[in-house]
Amino acid sequence: MKTFSLLCACLALTIMPFSKASAQDRIFELPLYTGKIPHEIPGPDEEQAERQGDIVRIKNIRKPTLTAYLPPKEKATGTAVVICPGGGYAIVAAEHEGHAVARKFTEQGIAAFVLKYRLPDPKTSTLPEVAPLEDAQQALRLVRENAQDWNITPGKVGIMGFSAGGHVASTAGTHFQKAYIEKPKAVSLRPDFMLLIYPVISADKAIAHQGSFTNLLGKGASSEKLEEFSNEKQVSPQTPPTFLVHAADDKGVPVQNSIAFYEALLAHQVPAELHVYQNGGHGFGLQNPTTPDVWFERCLNWLKANSL
C-alpha cells in the first residue's frame, strides 16, 4: 500500500498549495476546500492507495483534491472538464478513469481536472450521501472561479464520469438547482455538458448496480431516496447536453442505465448521443479492447459538433 502522495510522485504530478497554483504550472494538485469541508466529522487521515499496473485504487478519502491538467495557453480551446473516476462508491479508480483521461484531453487543448472525491462514509461525513455531490459542485465552482487564470471559457465547463463516477457526474448535472456547498460568488453549478462512460444511473432494481447504491444510501434506503438518486428520473429540459458510452455485455452496470438516461434526455429534448458497443464489458477506460473504434475520438467529435 502506498500513500497518495507517493503515487502522485510516480505519476509525476507537481503538488503545491492552492494559493501558489497558477496557469504557468500546467499540472498541479490543490485541496478542494481551503476552509471547512461540508458536513465533515473530524478524525484521522486514513487514506490508502494501491497500484496494480495502470489501475490505482484510493479509499478512505477524507481530504478531497482536484488535480489540474492545463494545456499550453496557445493551444487552449477554452473547454474544461471535471473528471470523476469510478469505483462503486467504495474506491476512486484514479488513473485509468482519471489521470490517463486528463492527459488525453490536454493533448487536444482541453483543460482537465481529476476529482478525488469523498466516498459516502458515515465516519467522515454527517451527510455521507451528498458528500460526492458536494465535491463535484465545489470542483465546478473552482474551475469557473479560476477560469480567467486557467484560460477557460466559463460557459464551456463540463463534467465527466466513469461507472459510479458517472453517477456523481449525472447527479451534478441533474441536481444543480440546489447548491450543496457555500457559494459566495454568483457562479453557476450547472455543468455545460456531461460525458458519461458506462455510468451508474438508476436505482431500479432491474438494472441497478446495487453495490453503488448500497454504498451511497445504505441498506434499506427509502423508495423516496432511491428515486431522488435515480438520475434518469431527475432529467429536465435544463439538463446539460450529454454524451454516453456503454457496452451491451456490461455485467457490472447494465447498459440499460445509459439507455434509460438517453431516453429521458430525448423526452425532454436535451441534445444527446449514445454509443453502445456490442462487447467490452465494464471498466475499460479509454480503450475498449474488443473494437478498433476509439470512443474518445467520438467524444471529441461530439464536443466539436456542439461547439464545446
What was the pLDDT predicted at 265? 98
99-120: average pLDDT: 98
pTM of the model: 0.92
Q: Strand 65-69 to strand 92-93: parallel, antiparallel, or no bridges (unpaired)? A: unpaired
CATH of the domain at 160: 3.40.50.1820
Q: Which domain holds residue 66?
A: 4-305
Residue with cell 458536494: 134
pLDDT tens figures, 157-171: 999 999 999 999 999
What was the pLDDT predicted at 23? 45
What was the pLDDT predicted at 186? 83
Share of the chain above pLDDT 70, in %: 92
Determine the 3-state secondary structure of 45 from DSSP. Answer: coil
Total of domains in the chain: 1
For residue 183, give the C-alpha cell.
457559494
What was the pLDDT predicted at 266? 98
pLDDT tens figures, 96-107: 999 999 999 999
8 Å CB contact between 195 and 160: yes
How many whole angstroms separate alpha carbon 222 and alpha carbon 107? 45
What was the pLDDT predicted at 53? 81
